[in-house]
């Protein structure tokens, strides 16, 4: 059955949380979330559960009133959409949810990947972008596309192993007033150097080579964090370029999830939030 209506406080009976995905054994989310709960004094538990999309409906139906929320990773961010009773506007905007809150007798969906991506880029001083080269065309790529639109990007080149799968990104770009150009995976960056190269490829898998002037000039944001450094990150570091790790995204989107789990609002900062973030960061240092 679905979780009953309960107040949104850290002391209510909803104490169980988990991250779902496949594969999930490598996830650092449990150690990050647990560090945050210790900092805010919340008596919550958080575990990692192997989960596929076909099993997700039965899993949600099996949860009782002890469950507060879930973090979702591949491949569940889109699979969960038809199972939600209510979706935060960012979920509809992106077309994916990475967070579930059980509250008000509802299954509520949120997306904190956009917030996390913007914060990760700002962590290295990026306040605006014009052109971006995006690797990959999955659910995370959609969140990144919205994030770079928030930072002012007007042109995004998408390299996709199967270009037809990027059609949704083209449509999303139109809604976000961003021109999205899709190309074959091996086509390269072209004559102009983008402001940022962003890889959303799972596990950091990459066989592309970027010229040294691109690696030295464009910021690399690689959403992968295991293994780290990724092949792309090593190539960028060798050229003296700026690299944003996927671990920074993981931390920042997790902070947004914590806001949801505490107050039901990804945009509502927590009391003493910087100290909470520092505790989360220290847990994976």
d(CA 126, CA 94): 22
| Nearest residue to 211 via CA among 230, 238, 184 | 238
Evaluate whether 73 touches 27 at the Cβ level (below 8 Å).
yes
Q: 3-class SS at 14?
A: coil
Residue 63: exposure state from Cβ atoms within 10 A (0-12, 13-18, ≥19): middle
d(CA 103, CA 111): 16
Expressed in percent and rounded to 5, the helix, strand and coil fractions of the chain are: 40, 20, 40
CA atoms within 13 A on the CB side of 56: 25
Q: Is 165 a catalytic residue?
A: no
Evaluate whether 236 touches 215 at the Cβ level (below 8 Å).
yes
Q: Which residues are catalytic?
A: 77
């Amino acid at each position: 059955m679905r979780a009953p209506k309960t107040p949104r406080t850290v002391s209510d009976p909803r104490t169980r949380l988990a991250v779902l995905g496949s594969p999930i054994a490598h996830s650092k989310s449990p150690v990050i979330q647990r560090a945050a709960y210790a900092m805010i004094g919340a008596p919550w538990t958080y575990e990692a559960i192997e989960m596929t999309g076909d099993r997700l409906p039965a899993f949600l139906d099996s949860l009782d009133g002890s469950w507060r929320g879930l973090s979702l990773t591949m491949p569940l961010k889109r699979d969960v959409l038809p199972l939600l009773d209510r979706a935060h506007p960012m979920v509809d905007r992106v077309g994916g949810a990475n967070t579930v809150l059980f509250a008000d007798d509802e299954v509520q969906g949120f997306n904190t990947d956009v917030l996390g991506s913007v914060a990760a880029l700002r962590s290295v001083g990026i306040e605006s972008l014009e052109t971006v080269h995006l690797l990959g065309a999955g659910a995370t790529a959609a969140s990144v596309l919205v994030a770079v639109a928030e930072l002012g990007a007007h042109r995004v080149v998408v390299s996709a192993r199967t270009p037809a799968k990027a059609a949704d990104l083209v449509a999303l770009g139109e809604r976000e007033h961003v021109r999205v150009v899709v190309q074959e995976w091996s086509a390269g960056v072209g004559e102009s150097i983008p402001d940022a190269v962003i890889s959303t490829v799972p596990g950091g898998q990459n066989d592309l080579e970027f010229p040294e002037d691109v690696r030295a000039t464009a910021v690399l944001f690689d959403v992968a964090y295991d293994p780290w450094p990724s092949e792309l990150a090593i190539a960028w570091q060798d050229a003296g370029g700026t690299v944003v790790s996927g671990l920074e995204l993981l931390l920042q989107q997790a902070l947004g999830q914590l806001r949801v789990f505490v107050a039901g609002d990804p945009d509502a900062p927590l009391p003493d939030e910087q100290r909470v973030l520092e505790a989360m960061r220290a847990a994976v240092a």
